[in-house]
Amino acid sequence: MKNDFAFAKTRQFAPLFGTQFLGAFNDNLFKNSLFALISFYGLGKNDWLPPEQILNLGALLFVLPYFLFSTLAGQLATRFDKARLARAVKVFEMAIMALAGWGFSVSSAPVLLLCLFLMGVHSTIFGPVKYAILPEYLGEKHLLTGNGLIESGTFLAILFGQILGAAMAGHGSTLLTVVVFVVAAAGFASSLWMPPAPPQNPQATIHWNLWRDTKELWQQIRAQNELRTAILGISWFWLVGAVYTTQLLTFTQLHLGGNANVFNLMLTLFSIGIAVGSVLCSKASKGSLHLIWVLFGGIGLSIFGGLLVYLTHTLHFAGQPLQGIGQFLQRGHAYPIMLAMLGIGFFGGFFSVPLYTWLQMRSSDEFRAHAIAANNIANAVFMVAAAIASAVLLKLFDSVLLLYLLVAVGNLPMLAYLVYRYPAIFRRQAG
């Protein structure tokens, strides 16, 4: 196993991993600190929107750049050296965090929401860079393992950023400003060590008609069955993750009777599960693309998702005092519930890692960044759809458990559709 991951220490991987980890960490650190300031510390209280609507606007602003600029990001990653582009993105991030520092100091919700939008732009541009550069750095031999490590690191970064962001919100603007800027600077420092990644088409013209270019991109994706199928599977994964994490706080309060610490525990288990599943999927695949792990992961998602609903369907704590981790762990049902949440994340890792590798391997060198850009757009569409569908279902049925059950059961027809689109998923090794 040691030899399988020896490449992780090389210059072809470690700086990219560090840059991605710190970027995802800072995204969530900033976003969650801003949301905590709005929810608990009165930021934006007397602004033009009520706090709850400011939160909804913030969530929209962070996702919006994926719709607007993903096609442009794919063009940039094809036209320019991707390592240099990564460094430019990190300089942009430092500038955003400097502006955010001023926003924190004057308690300006509009300025901080602008920064949140710009951080979405930063992530949108970096997305095609990180996934398109991996095959160039690692080749097919280590690509699956590299994707597993990137995936696991990303979810851990999201987790740590969410927890630390919420915890730091009440400790003053100076500390927040220093931390988010230092993290951005550390990401830039890491990017300096990334080896050159020459452009695939240095003569390519950058087109600024984003609507037309997005339409043309999707026409190209629809003509390539494998890419379209991989993107569909990845986007479903992000929809599932969005449903679980978005509704997790309500689920923790109503069906576990837990406070914010119990919520963080469940979120930690989910994220660790994905991280472990991603790495073990890479190890089990032994460097080859085995799409059958997608079926394994999807079935596991359904089993453990259903188990979570079964274990909690008789538990109702509405109107009761919320309890901490110590009291939660004293209940007999606590450990099976924790195992179920861990299992959901674990099988999510097995589901997603082969799909990302499949997308990268089946994209031509010239088209890979564009394929990643299309994937980012689809991911955003599915996450927005998840938010809308969740809001409608909760309005109609007022049941988080029903929502979780629908997601768990929905994995099965999605798997059937993926197999219908690409029957070779049943083969032990694809292509």
Domain ranges of the chain: 11-196, 224-431
Distance CA 345, CA 351 (A): 10
In CATH terms, the superfamily for domain 224-431 is MFS general substrate transporter like domains (1.20.1250.20)
* Domains 11-196 and 224-431 fall in the same CATH topology: yes
| Closest C-alpha to 19, from 100, 96, 82, 107 | 82
* CATH code of the region 11-196: 1.20.1250.20
Distance CA 141, CA 164 (A): 36
Distance CA 46, CA 109 (A): 10
Q: Are 194 and 16 in contact (CB under 8 A)?
A: yes
Q: Are 276 and 156 in contact (CB under 8 A)?
A: no
Query: In sequence order, which ranges of 80-191 are alpha helices (DSSP H)?
Result: 82-106, 109-168, 173-191
Q: Are 246 and 388 in contact (CB under 8 A)?
A: no
- The one-letter code for the residue type at 287 is G
Distance CA 115, CA 61 (A): 10
| Cα separation values, 136 from 70, 81, 265, 408, Å | 21, 12, 37, 36
Backbone angles phi, psi at 323, to 5 degrees: -115, 160
Instruction: Give the pLDDT of the chain (431 residues) as one tens digit per residue.
Output: 456 778 888 998 999 999 999 999 999 999 989 988 987 788 877 666 777 678 778 888 998 999 889 999 999 999 999 999 999 999 999 999 999 999 999 999 999 999 999 999 999 999 999 888 999 998 888 898 999 999 999 989 999 998 898 888 888 899 999 999 999 999 999 999 999 998 888 887 787 887 888 889 999 999 999 999 999 999 999 999 989 988 888 899 899 999 888 988 999 999 999 999 999 998 888 778 888 999 999 999 999 999 999 999 998 887 788 899 999 999 989 999 999 999 999 999 999 999 999 999 999 888 999 999 999 999 999 988 888 888 888 888 889 999 999 999 999 999 999 999 888 776 655 44
